[in-house]
Structure 1
Amino acid sequence: MDSHHRIRLFAYAGLIIAALSWAGNALVGKYTAGSIPPMALSMGRWSLAFLVLLPIAGAQLWRHRSIVREHYWRLQILAVLSITCYNSFLYIAVQKSTAINITLITTAMPIAAIIFAFWVLGERPRIKQVSGVLLSLVGLMILISEAQWQRLAGLEFRQGDLVMTLATVCWALYSILLKKFSPPLPPATLLLTLIILGAPVIAPFYYWESLTSAYSPSLDDLWVFAYVAALPSIVAYLCWNNGVKVLGSTVPTLFSYLIPIFTILLAIPLLGEQLFIFHAVGGLLTFAGLYLSTRS
């Protein structure tokens, strides 16, 4: 196997790790709904991630400060879309919507990415890519509806659904613009820069939330913040950004289809959920569509 194939396989593996990390993030967000306010979770997550990354990439960031100044507005846009908006909107949505609705809305991410890629980058989708997206979509519909299509017809849209739609659009646009802008920074340095630029935008909303919330962090919440800072924030972002760099802007968004599958698999041991035949059918179709979409 030549180095090119190894790099691509490493990127694919990273995207799978990112999807698995964000599946855990979705479970944590739902688990803490009602106990940890969304802005507190978002602000705590990125503050802790900043403290972890600073000794690792701080010196590199200082050496690349001229590049940051040169690309400041591009980096600021990326930071607001990813660090500020996507995660904050996600945590708000899980408190105001159902897991089914949120998963259903998330399935629009690869479609939004294909549209943005055509609009921003001029990339025309390949037939295999579109076919794979549609096949994966069918698989996810089976998962979401539990093979009972009347469940989809009977869905009621809630306040959090609009917020989740905004989150999905923000992440799809972030992935496209990350490829377009291609900031010439090392991976950890880029992530640290995005946190520095994006977290302060969360601060006023966190302060406003604190005025109406009686929440105060406790030691019992430490594992929550440690998890969301380490895996969904640092590991998953580094893996995702590398996937965009190596594989392009739209292929990584297809791996968002793995998030609900991993969420179900994690919920079996953690929440005592049961595995049914429709899970297997839906999961296999989703993986088949993903394989078709990513074939050269």
Structure 2
Amino acid sequence: MASSQSFSKSTALAYTGLVLTPLFWAGNAVVARGTVQDIPPLSMSFWRWIIALAILLPFGLPGILRHRQVIRQHLGSMVALATFSVAAFNSLLYYAAITTTATNIALINATIPIFVALLAWLMLGDRTRPIQALGIGLAVLGILVVIARGQLSVLTGLQAQPGDLIMVAAVFSWGLFSVLLRRQAVPLPALTFLTTQILLGTLIIFPFYLMDLFFFAGGFELSRDTALPLLYFAIFPGILAYGFWNHGVHTIGPGGAAIFMYLTPVYASVLAGLFLGESLGLFHIVGGGLILVGLLLATRVKRPAFRKADD
């Protein structure tokens, strides 16, 4: 009976966490869009990870020391993984927030499984069934509708918002991370892996942050209006979303967990409407519908789980 109750609590926690995780990811886009004029993107990315590292290090450092030989043996792989996930993904997402909406960021971000499937086919030779290929095609078409804002002339005239294209690059970067994670799996416990990735990713961002600080965007004024967003980035879409996501995948499987990713643009559109005054256009509905159908088709076959370490 105790075992059954424990299982029920674990399952309830998994579903609760999977409902909250896309809410935290959506909040990442909305808060970034709302504060990117006050905090430069690279500052946003760097200090987010500094705060997350300060929180995690007391718990993760013993594992790093215990598994330092494994880390040393796989250092090249871990640097590559940290570059595409911790360093590149969120830095690009925050740059995208300068010139595109939180709703667009969330819609494009929701296509991560599509990019993972596409890159796994190209780089790992994963077999793609016709129904999955159709799903990938529909999702890509949905992305183009969102980027073009429903106007073909935007694409033909190369007038797309830079932020939309930067967000595509961010999702592509996360896809590379996910595929490399499968090809170059590192045998580390989850907390040790996450702490090491954040440590390496922060070190990779650091020189770019310094260049941006001294020669380009400059710094920002530390206040309640800038400190709270940074704390949110570090705790909610960073640490908590990662823990909830991995528990959900472990408990109900990657296929079941992936369904909850579809909530991200829904949450984002509501939050962006409430806090940023963004409104949904017809192109959001058409593009979002194509992306949703594409995701449902492309993820019908279960795939190996991939870590969501830094959104």
TM-score of the aligned structures, taking structure 1 as reference length = 0.78
Q: Which residue of 1 aligns with 2:63?
A: 60
Deviates more, 1:166-175 or 1:120-129: 120-129
Q: Which residue of 1 aligns with 2:228?
A: 223
Aligned with residue 94 of structure 1, among 78, 94, 97: 97
Deviation at residue 127 of structure 1 after TM alignment: 3.4
Q: Does residue 1:167 correspond to 2:167, yes or no?
A: no
**CA separation of 1:177/1:221 partners in 2, compared to 1, >3 Å: closer, same or farther?**
same
Residue correspondences, number: 290
Deviation at residue 189 of structure 1 after TM alignment: 1.4
Q: Which residue of 2 aligns with 1:203?
A: 206
- Residue aligned with 1:170, SS: helix
- Residue by residue over 1:175-226, the C-alpha shift from the partner in whole angstroms, topping out at 9 and shown as x without a partner, is 1111222221121211100011110111111111211425232233221011
Unpaired runs of at least 5, structure 1: none
Aligned with residue 124 of structure 1, among 99, 124, 127: 127
**CA separation of 1:9/1:116 partners in 2, compared to 1, >3 Å: closer, same or farther?**
farther
Alignment of structure 1 residues 242-253 onto 2, 5 Å: none
Indicate conservation of the 8 Å contact 2:48/2:230, yes or no. yes
Counterparts of 1:10 and 1:279 in 2: how far apart (Å)?
32
Deviation at residue 293 of structure 1 after TM alignment: 3.9
- Residue aligned with 2:82, SS: helix
- Residue aligned with 1:190, SS: helix
Q: Which residue of 1 aligns with 2:191?
A: 188
Q: Does residue 1:233 correspond to 2:234, yes or no?
A: no
- Residue by residue over 1:84-111, the C-alpha shift from the partner in whole angstroms, topping out at 9 and shown as x without a partner, is 1111111112214455765675466444
Q: Which residue of 2 aligns with 1:263?
A: 268
Deviation at residue 128 of structure 1 after TM alignment: 3.7
**CA separation of 1:93/1:291 partners in 2, compared to 1, >3 Å: closer, same or farther?**
closer
Counterparts of 1:240 and 1:275 in 2: how far apart (Å)?
28
Deviates more, 1:264-273 or 1:181-190: 264-273
Indicate conservation of the 8 Å contact 1:133/1:254, yes or no. no
Task: Supply the RMSD in Å over aligned alpha carbons.
Answer: 4.0
What residue identity is the alignment partner of 1:231?
F
- Residue aligned with 2:80, SS: helix
Counterparts of 2:160 and 2:113 in 1: how far apart (Å)?
21
Indicate conservation of the 8 Å contact 1:57/1:192, yes or no. yes
Q: Which residue of 2 aligns with 1:83?
A: 86
Deviation at residue 260 of structure 1 after TM alignment: 2.5
Counterparts of 1:251 and 1:106 in 2: how far apart (Å)?
18
Counterparts of 2:211 and 2:130 in 1: how far apart (Å)?
47
Counterparts of 1:118 and 1:290 in 2: how far apart (Å)?
16
Alignment of structure 1 residues 12-27 onto 2, 5 Å: 17-27=20-30
Deviation at residue 9 of structure 1 after TM alignment: 10
Unpaired runs of at least 5, structure 2: 302-311
- Residue aligned with 2:221, SS: coil
